A and B are shown apart, each in its own frame.
Chain A
């Protein structure tokens, strides 16, 4: 039976939500076409996620357990995926489009001589054709792009965060352990350090609510208000490139073309003008609230609700009103 294989990056013993979104899409397609839905997990102990992957419909789980996966280096990831793909022989390999995946996708495509559809907003398949919709030109437009599966190589597809909702569809997976062939001492790169961002309490890619700050936030006083709004709404904190450049927020918070793509239920854009490169990373949000003192700011074009005003005057009563509403 043809196979669709989803790659599951694991961090802190958990598959990311975006990985489960990608797996859900793969499972839907597998059901529709009568294919096998398989997953591959890379982690120091990959077996810990097999139950979760079964819950989301993975009939087969390839578990590659190796201590090197605690470190974010690309060479072992490419090697492990090559091994599993050669063993499983999938028609399509699906990935969540994280920085870790982006780091490995090109090399893997080259090694397998496989067509790659990176960072897609949706994809489907018919016969041997995989068709994807990709945002292009800083997401001003979308391109409908096709690739063909073939007997000697799969089509690789990486899916943007928030493109599909993760849905359970429980099965009991068959777990196949696969050994990593890479010898750690043969690695030509060395990880010196990982400087984890201080970040907020909630992870951006997992968040239902995001409070994003722009250059209008300007200083520590503005930042404190943004943090308070995030706190009362249980939100993750995002940022525009301009305010990351100011050094007020870490680069891991950056949302947009260079930064992350998010699609939460609710997105607050505070002191953000709405440049296309920022909007490219957040237009998938269900409800968008914009707070900006310039009534002509382009962010209001994508906002569901806008308040024209100074954030220092708008945020304090807003925080209080939300606190009251939640009490």
Chain B
């Protein structure tokens, strides 16, 4: 099967960052391959190893994001497509979807994989939007993926349990990071990735449908207290506080 994985570069949420005058400031400017997209790459590689096929990765981003394509190639993807946008391009799920849909109308892979949401925005829209734009059936929030004949069997994490869904190709699946642990590329794979083909095309995204007015800090929680003493003592004091102070019991 021909797999194509939508990948994105996101700010590293664990690196120092702050909000100043309504702007989000990433102190070290550290960026990474999105964790959910990384699980989607891993999922494609696992199926390719078992059944053969081809794995392409597609990324929309500025020049700097090409390092994220290299990362996915080092993990094992065969080729990359970089839909290049300017440094100051404002993207949202809608404009990302439109560009991806244009790409896929031409190439039409059997299976398109994406992250269930982006690690920085948690939007979680691209997979469903893209499926609808291409007229493909889809499953979101996959935690398991098995190839069966020409189709897939997807285990999705639902509200009350796991839903096991048969899906024909061509289709779209969005992946949870609970599905797998993305492999860490070895040095020799990193070297080999430099020879893999990456096609770069300049594109201009449509105007986003949402406007971010400002970033702000979440509401601060009241400072807490440590309940001292030996376990039994602390437990009794905690119950008293929960009853008399917090009125939570």
Q: Which residues of A contact B (CB under 8 A)?
A: 11, 72-75, 78, 98-100, 102-111, 115-119, 131, 133-147, 188-197, 199, 205, 209, 233, 241, 244-245, 250-252, 254, 257-258, 265-266, 276, 283, 286-289, 295, 300, 302-310, 313-314, 317-318, 320-322, 325-326
Binds A, one of B54-62, B67-75, B158-166: B158-166
Query: Residue B129 at the A interface, CB < 8 A?
Result: yes
Query: Measured between alpha carbons, how far is A93 from B246 in the docked complex, in Å?
Result: 36
Residues of B within 8 A of A144 (CB): 212-216
Residues of A within 8 A of B11 (CB): 137
Query: Measured between alpha carbons, how far is A276 from B12 in the docked complex, in Å?
Result: 12
Question: Whole-angstrom distance from the CB of A217 to the nearest CB of chain B?
Answer: 16
Extra 15 A-B pairs, beta carbons < 8 Å, given A118-B122, A307-B227: A72-B163, A74-B138, A103-B140, A106-B129, A106-B130, A110-B132, A118-B123, A119-B124, A137-B11, A144-B216, A190-B165, A197-B161, A205-B159, A233-B249, A266-B242
Given contacts A103-B128, A314-B235, contact A251 B143 (CB under 8 A): yes
Partner pick for A313 among B141, B231, B238, CB 8 A cutoff: B231
Residue pair B249, A141 in contact (C-beta under 8 Å):
no
Query: Measured between alpha carbons, how far is A11 from B160 in the docked complex, in Å?
Result: 10
24 contacts between A and B (CB under 8 A): A72-B159, A74-B138, A103-B140, A104-B128, A106-B125, A107-B129, A107-B131, A110-B128, A118-B123, A140-B13, A140-B218, A145-B213, A189-B165, A190-B166, A194-B160, A251-B143, A251-B178, A252-B161, A266-B248, A286-B248, A287-B248, A305-B225, A307-B227, A317-B231
Residue pair A304, B246 in contact (C-beta under 8 Å):
yes
Question: Whole-angstrom distance from the CB of B101 to the nearest CB of chain A?
Answer: 9
Query: Measured between alpha carbons, how far is A109 from B126 in the docked complex, in Å?
Result: 10
Residue pair B238, A137 in contact (C-beta under 8 Å):
no
Residue pair A192, B166 in contact (C-beta under 8 Å):
yes
Query: Residue B28 at the A interface, CB < 8 A?
Result: no
Query: Measured between alpha carbons, how far is A142 from B215 in the docked complex, in Å?
Result: 6
7 closest A-B pairs by beta carbon, nearest first, are A106-B128, A110-B132, A106-B125, A196-B161, A318-B235, A115-B209, A317-B235
Residue of B nearest to A18 (CB): B159
Residues of A within 8 A of B129 (CB): 106-107, 109-110
Query: Residue B177 at the A interface, CB < 8 A?
Result: yes
Residue pair A138, B249 in contact (C-beta under 8 Å):
no
Query: Residue B201 at the A interface, CB < 8 A?
Result: no
Given contacts A147-B211, A192-B153, A251-B162, contact A111 B238 (CB under 8 A): no
Residues of A within 8 A of B182 (CB): none
Residue pair B234, A309 in contact (C-beta under 8 Å):
yes
Given contacts A106-B125, A305-B227, A309-B234, contact A193 B164 (CB under 8 A): yes
Partner pick for A307 among B116, B165, B234, CB 8 A cutoff: B234
For the complex, would chain A's binding face be called helix, strand, loop or mixed by DSSP majority? mixed
A-B contact count (CB 8 A): 260
Query: Measured between alpha carbons, how far is A137 from B163 in the docked complex, in Å?
Result: 29
Residue pair A106, B132 in contact (C-beta under 8 Å):
yes
Residue pair B120, A137 in contact (C-beta under 8 Å):
yes
Bitwise, B198-242 to A at CB < 8 A (1) or not (0) is: 000000000001111111111001101111000110111011011
Q: Which residues of B contact A (CB under 8 A)?
A: 11, 13-14, 17, 19, 24, 93-94, 97, 116, 119-133, 137-141, 143, 153, 156-168, 176-178, 209-218, 221-222, 224-227, 231-232, 234-236, 238-239, 241-243, 246, 248-249
Residue pair A141, B178 in contact (C-beta under 8 Å):
no
Residue pair B165, A136 in contact (C-beta under 8 Å):
no
Residues of B within 8 A of A115 (CB): 94, 209-210
Residue of B nearest to A71 (CB): B163
Query: Measured between alpha carbons, how far is A318 from B120 in the docked complex, in Å?
Result: 38
Query: Measured between alpha carbons, how far is A241 from B116 in the docked complex, in Å?
Result: 16
Partner pick for A141 among B94, B158, B217, B224, CB 8 A cutoff: B217
Given contacts A138-B119, A317-B232, contact A107 B143 (CB under 8 A): no
Query: Measured between alpha carbons, how far is A325 from B126 in the docked complex, in Å?
Result: 50
Residue pair A322, B249 in contact (C-beta under 8 Å):
yes
Most buried by A among B141, B156, B168, B209: B209
Residue pair A257, B122 in contact (C-beta under 8 Å):
yes
Residue pair A99, B141 in contact (C-beta under 8 Å):
yes
Query: Measured between alpha carbons, how far is A251 from B121 in the docked complex, in Å?
Result: 22
Query: Measured between alpha carbons, how far is A306 from B122 in the docked complex, in Å?
Result: 30
Residues of B within 8 A of A139 (CB): 218
Residues of A within 8 A of B221 (CB): 283, 288, 302, 304
Most buried by B among A103, A265, A318: A103
Query: Measured between alpha carbons, how far is A66 from B232 in the docked complex, in Å?
Result: 55
Question: Whole-angstrom distance from the CB of B242 to the nearest CB of chain A?
Answer: 7
Residue of A nearest to B162 (CB): A195
Query: Measured between alpha carbons, how far is A327 from B133 in the docked complex, in Å?
Result: 59
Question: Whole-angstrom distance from the CB of A40 to the nearest CB of chain B?
Answer: 18
Given contacts A140-B13, A307-B238, contact A110 B120 (CB under 8 A): no
